[in-house]
Amino acid sequence: MNNKKSLFIGKQANSAAGIKAVFISLQQILSRMSVKNSFKVLSKLNQKDGVDCPGCAWPDPSHRSKLGEFCENGVKAIAEEAMENRVDPIFFSKYSVKELQQQSDYWLGQQGRLTHPMILKENETHYTPISWSEANKIIGQELNTLSHPNEAAFYTSGRTSNEAAFLYQLFVRMYGTNNLPDCSNMCHESSGVALSKTVGIGKGSVTLDDLYKAELILIFGQNPATNHPRMLSCLEKAKKNGAKVVAINPLKEAGLMNFKNPQTPKGILANGTDIADLYLQIKINEDVALLKAVMIKLFHLSEKNPKILDQEFITQKTEGFQQFKEELLTHNLENLINRTGLSTKEIDTLVELIAQRNKIITCWGMGLTQHVNGVDNIQEVVNLLLIKGSIGKEGAGTCPVRGHSNVQGDRTMGIAEKPSKELLDKIAENFGFTPPKEHGYSVVDAITAMYHKKVKVFIGMGGNFLSAAPDTHYTTKALENCNLTVHISTKLNRSHLTPGKTALILPSMGRTDKYIKNGKAQFVTVENSMGVVHSSKGALTPPSDFVESEPVIVANIAKATLKQNKVHWDFLIQDYDHIRDLIAKTINGFENYNERVKQPIGFELPNGARTGNFTTPNKKANFTINKLSDISLESDDFIMMTTRSHDQFNTTIYGLDDRYRGIYNGRMVVFINPEDAKKIGLQKGDKISLYNNYNNIKRQVDDFSVVPYNIPKGCIATYYPESNPLVPIDLTANLSHTPSSKSVKVKIKKS
């Protein structure tokens, strides 16, 4: 972190990583952990039989570098989890909840790991210690006094292991509800919905090997240098093999321009590798317009050269082509191009690149999913792949780049508010009860239900529900309306400070913690962004004797809650192999789980789209007709995206710098086009408020500083979670209900 106290606005970087990344990661870990523990954990990070990085879900290559198979932000994730500071009962006796509410997210995180179960009793000012058995008893009692199990909601964040997630969903369904909202609802839900409908699987189709073999990689709405840093070494390799890369992003992100690989002499001593061959600085939420313009141009070109499109693939493998084409050609090309803010020349360059290549991979992140038309965005990306026959073969396909390290695995384990019939049937068959069929609440639905007191108990398996959710003030009220809020957490966060009538904090082990049961070191399993399941074994002594592993926490809550126990919970937590045996019997693709996961690099789950066997009801890949974005703006409205800085993991703030964007010592900033700033009389550093008026409700945040920046006109960017109070609870994506946190209308006024 920079040492200056006040916000400093410097220059935007045009290259990512390099030797600086190595220094910063070392500084980060050594300021939080001993040299011995730092070395111990880093030497095992992402190595076979080692600790899986708790950061993002980017996959590990099958060959692991001895120099270290991790990135700067992986080290930050480790340092944040395994730091040696402690939040213990003495800490809680020192600070009241009110006092803690005044502290920043950064400060809360720096206080250290939670060590003891704590309770905030009704009308009390301080959390006090409680025993595990007392805490579980309270949870069981509260859950059993509800008039229906649907009055409770069970949230999951994507760090939870397969073993914990499987037990958690089993317990929740035995209890009697499908209210299993999870962080996916705010994240790649739009991808899941769009991909399930079009290609039959809600996950990506490509492997790392496909990326190395691709001829063209299109990266939409994703900032890999910060959020998936090792993707850059993969892109570097793909480029070496001849791939062209196109970045489609309103912001010029450093890592998409150039990457200095700190593991190569070139990356340290020379200029690094240029990543994007073409950089399209599109306006926010105009990706459908761009894709439609590109596809119209491809159809025009194909009249002279039919080979540009894969007619055979279209005929044999797809459905809905004619209707799609007819609708597409009704659009006015000039209008589409104007909407994007790009020049015809830029679009023609992209069209040329696509026309000449067949092995195309599309990658995307939150820049596509978090819009009202998020599902349309992704379906339109699929349409492009389908006309090119670029899915179901080597070097081609879909690559939604997932967020948390096991967010994909949690869904596979059955954390879903809309479970499949196949899953429910298997649960019924294996566990001898009829699981509820009625769909449960997603994140946004759960918040609304808590707000209206229809949900009275909230349990969070990891995560920071309050800060991650939209409409912060509304969500605060929603949590406060509960009778009981329970957070199973590694670190203190703002959700602990918006308690229900009674609140519990249950301290959990994290990925880095060594867990020994009956003399045997237990490991957990996770699934990466490309559907590979592998193990993770902790390396460090847990922060106290009172923290518990997630599966044990779930099993004990289940025991304290369920009246009839058809599951032998104690047996399951004696050895995690026992849990995996049940997963093998219940979840498709996990046959011989214990055996296969012990292979050094794990195993791949079935993926029809990967092999061109589409598992949609009609067994075809389906074309879709998608809507352009539809936001009516007043003359003084801007469209705001909320995004991540380089120094955060979602709501966990590692530091106050975003060096790739030239921001130091502050997060309350608004990136705005310099001409827009001038037009409304704003200068660098001016203090402003942002506000909007959706449904006649005024939402406002204050004390933001102006940063004139390279961003298209009419668009602004802020950091999440500071600007979440501006994201209306009901501004969500059609079908996926993902909060539209990348396109929020706002107005600006000087403070």
Ligand X SMILES: Nc1nc2c(c(=O)[nH]1)N[C@H]1C(S)=C(S)[C@@H](COP(=O)(O)OP(=O)(O)OC[C@H]3O[C@@H](n4cnc5c(=O)[nH]c(N)nc54)[C@H](O)[C@@H]3O)O[C@H]1N2
Residues that bind ligand SF4 (CB under 6 A): 46, 53, 55-56, 58, 70-71, 73-74, 77, 228-230
188 torsion bin: left (phi>0), alpha (psi -120 to 50), beta (else): alpha
If one asks whether residue 187 binds Mo ion (CB under 5 A), the answer comes out as: yes
Identity of the residue, 342 or 401, whose beta carbon is nearer to ligand SF4 in the bound complex: 401
If one asks whether residue 469 binds Mo ion (CB under 5 A), the answer comes out as: no
CB 122 within 8 A of CB 480: no
Identity of the residue, 56 or 503, whose beta carbon is nearer to ligand SF4 in the bound complex: 56
Burial of 40 per CB tally in 10 Å (0-12, 13-18, 19+) = middle
If one asks whether residue 57 binds Mo ion (CB under 5 A), the answer comes out as: no
Whose tokens are 């847990």? That residue is: 542
The nearest distance, CB 53 to ligand SF4, in angstroms, is 3
Identity of the residue, 162 or 705, whose beta carbon is nearer to ligand SF4 in the bound complex: 162
**Type and span of the H or E element at 58:** none
Burial of 314 per CB tally in 10 Å (0-12, 13-18, 19+) = buried
Identity of the residue, 400 or 551, whose beta carbon is nearer to Mo ion in the bound complex: 400
Identity of the residue, 136 or 226, whose beta carbon is nearer to ligand SF4 in the bound complex: 226
Q: Which of residues 379-438 bind Mo ion (CB under 5 A)?
A: 403
Judged by DSSP in three states, 334 sits in helix
Strand partners, 278: 246
Q: Using CB distances below 5 to 8 A depending on partner kind, what does residue 248 bind out of Mo ion, ligand X, ligand SF4, none?
A: ligand X
Count of Cβ atoms closer than 10 Å to residue 356 Cβ: 11
CB 682 within 8 A of CB 718: no
Query: Reduced to 3 DSSP states, what percent helix, strand and coil does the chain have, rounded to the nearest 5?
Result: 40, 20, 45
Q: Using CB distances below 5 to 8 A depending on partner kind, what does residue 70 bind out of Mo ion, ligand SF4, ligand X, none?
A: ligand SF4
Q: Which residue is nearest to ligand X (CB)?
A: 365
CB 369 within 8 A of CB 188: yes
Identity of the residue, 202 or 510, whose beta carbon is nearer to ligand X in the bound complex: 510
If one asks whether residue 291 binds Mo ion (CB under 5 A), the answer comes out as: no
If one asks whether residue 222 binds ligand X (CB under 6 A), the answer comes out as: yes
- Binds ligand X (CB under 6 A): choice among 190, 285, 373, 536: 285
CA distance 638 to 239: 36
Give exposure, 372-390, as e/b (b: 16+ Cβ within 10 Å).
Answer: bbbbbbbbbbbbbbbbbbb
If one asks whether residue 699 binds ligand X (CB under 6 A), the answer comes out as: no
Under DSSP, the state recorded for 283 is P
Tokens found for residue 537: 């074994």
The nearest distance, CB 532 to Mo ion, in angstroms, is 19
If one asks whether residue 366 binds ligand X (CB under 6 A), the answer comes out as: yes
Tokens found for residue 289: 């317009």
If one asks whether residue 650 binds ligand X (CB under 6 A), the answer comes out as: yes
113 contacts: CB under 8 Å, gap ≥ 6: 81, 83, 85, 86, 87, 490, 491, 507, 543, 544, 547
Identity of the residue, 73 or 340, whose beta carbon is nearer to Mo ion in the bound complex: 73
| Cα distance between the two ends of the chain | 28
Identity of the residue, 321 or 671, whose beta carbon is nearer to ligand X in the bound complex: 671
The nearest distance, CB 69 to ligand SF4, in angstroms, is 7
If one asks whether residue 201 binds ligand X (CB under 6 A), the answer comes out as: no
Cis bond upstream, residue 721 (ω within 30): yes
Identity of the residue, 380 or 686, whose beta carbon is nearer to ligand X in the bound complex: 380
- Binds ligand X (CB under 6 A): choice among 411, 580, 610, 742: 742
If one asks whether residue 649 binds ligand X (CB under 6 A), the answer comes out as: yes
Q: Which stretch binds ligand X (CB under 6 A): 258-266, 313-321, 322-330, 648-656?
A: 648-656
Q: Which of residues 486-505 bind ligand X (CB under 6 A)?
A: 488-491, 493
Identity of the residue, 210 or 287, whose beta carbon is nearer to ligand SF4 in the bound complex: 210
- Binds ligand X (CB under 6 A): choice among 550, 657, 676, 686: 550
If one asks whether residue 223 binds ligand X (CB under 6 A), the answer comes out as: yes
- Binds ligand X (CB under 6 A): choice among 162, 475, 648, 732: 648
Nearest to residue 164, comparing CAs of 648, 563, 582?
582
If one asks whether residue 250 binds ligand X (CB under 6 A), the answer comes out as: yes
Provide the angle, in degrees to the nearest 10, between the axes of the packed helices 344-355 and 287-304.
60
Q: Using CB distances below 5 to 8 A depending on partner kind, what does residue 74 bind out of ligand X, Mo ion, ligand SF4, none?
A: ligand SF4
Spell out where 47-192 has E strands.
86-87, 113-114, 118-120, 128-129, 152-156
The nearest distance, CB 209 to ligand SF4, in angstroms, is 17
Q: Using CB distances below 5 to 8 A depending on partner kind, what does residue 58 bind out of ligand X, Mo ion, ligand SF4, none?
A: ligand SF4
Count of Cβ atoms closer than 10 Å to residue 293 Cβ: 28
- Side chain identity at 471, as an amino acid letter? D
291 contacts: CB under 8 Å, gap ≥ 6: 380, 381, 383, 384
Count of Cβ atoms closer than 10 Å to residue 663 Cβ: 26
Identity of the residue, 58 or 515, whose beta carbon is nearer to ligand SF4 in the bound complex: 58
Q: Using CB distances below 5 to 8 A depending on partner kind, what does residue 462 bind out of ligand X, ligand SF4, Mo ion, none?
A: ligand X
Count of Cβ atoms closer than 10 Å to residue 628 Cβ: 17
* Contact residues: Mo ion, CB under 5 A: 187, 403
* Contact residues: ligand X, CB under 6 A: 55-56, 73, 157-159, 183, 186-187, 220-223, 226-228, 248-251, 253, 282, 284-285, 287, 365-367, 370, 403-404, 461-465, 468, 488-491, 493, 508, 510-511, 550, 641-644, 648-652, 720, 724, 727, 741-742
